[in-house]
Amino acid sequence: MFSRPVTLWLPLIAIYSFWISLAQAVSGQEPLKSAEESRGYNLAEPIPVSCLNRTIDTGEHVPKITDASGQLQYIPFPTCNETGRPLELFFGVEREINCTIDFISDPFFHLLEFYIHNDAPLSCRIPSKPLPPSVLEHEYRVSDESTQEGALGTQSTLYTPLVVALAGTLQLSHLHVGNYLNLLVHAAPKSVSPGTIDAAAAYSISSHTRNTRVTIGDSLALSFSVRWYPSTTLPPGWSGYGGHLYKSTFLYCILSAVGSAAICVAYFRGVELPRRLRRYARDKMNGGGRFGGGYGLPVANGRGNGYGGYGYGIGKKD
């Protein structure tokens, strides 16, 4: 009597249980995926640097290389002799990083000319957060053009631009490259997005005095002074001339005080003290004023004959 209804409900119950299990499995995977994508950098975690791939076709401009979908193509920063790896930063670590590029090829030499002449920027990028495995797997595989999407691509939110402003001097046969650079990195506030890079920039300093001469076939030694800031706000710096107490000012004050004291001592010992001694001696010779010889005895008729206060005055007595 009840066999037919039971037979109808069993498939429905099985399908319902399957959908419930599938929904739980999907919901269980979503937090893992979001946690993976939202993870920030840990202290001293390495950060790879990649730069826009360019080529030299004419002397008028430097075209950008794009992939099949028209996206900008990035390649790793040249390998540093010191580490045998492309340039890397380390989250939150302030240090001096030396990166010597072993060989300056002819195309790279002409690219340096464009960079120094500001015809084209040395456009690089760093991941804002640790890259998901799906992107990290192909980060350095230039042949896989589908993952080399640049600042204008669909992966633009994964990276922070890092423009390197190289300075120097162009010559007919060689270049002078300002190879000492400041590299500033801003991290997002920890309360907002911990372990996240917000902005970065690099630029040559003292390029007229701190530079290196390079020609085709030479090596190029770059020195980066890396500084990190825990927010997007720069700390206060120079407040104008006279805004700080310098060592030279402090030394000047000390020398002025010592010089003034030396002048006062010299004046007292050379002028004031001899004058006081002469006046004292003159007073002694003149009898000391109202008191005879300064011994505290009255003087009769302008003379006195007292010794230690026990003497007799010479003169008429009443």
At 148, the amino acid letter reads Q
Number of neighbouring beta carbons within 10 Å of residue 168? 22
**Dist CA 237 CA 300 (whole Å):** 83
The tens digit of pLDDT for each residue in 38-60 reads 689 999 999 999 998 887 765 44
Structure tokens at 181: 């650079």
Whether residue 240 has pLDDT greater than 50: yes
Pick the range with the lowest mean pLDDT from 128-137, 189-198, 228-237, 304-313.
Answer: 304-313
Alpha helices, H only, the chain: 3-38, 106-116, 133-136, 247-267, 273-285
81-115: burial string, b at 16+ Cβ within 10 Å, e else: eeeeebbbbbbeeeeebebbbeebeeebbbbbbbb
- The reply to whether the predicted model has a pTM over 0.85 is no
Share of the chain above pLDDT 70, in %: 64
Spatial distance between the Cα atoms of 48 and 156, rounded to a whole number of angstroms: 16
If pLDDT is split at 50, 70 and 90, which confidence band does 144 have? very low
Q: How confident is the model over 250-297, as pLDDT tens digits?
A: 787 888 888 888 888 888 888 888 888 888 888 888 865 544 444 444
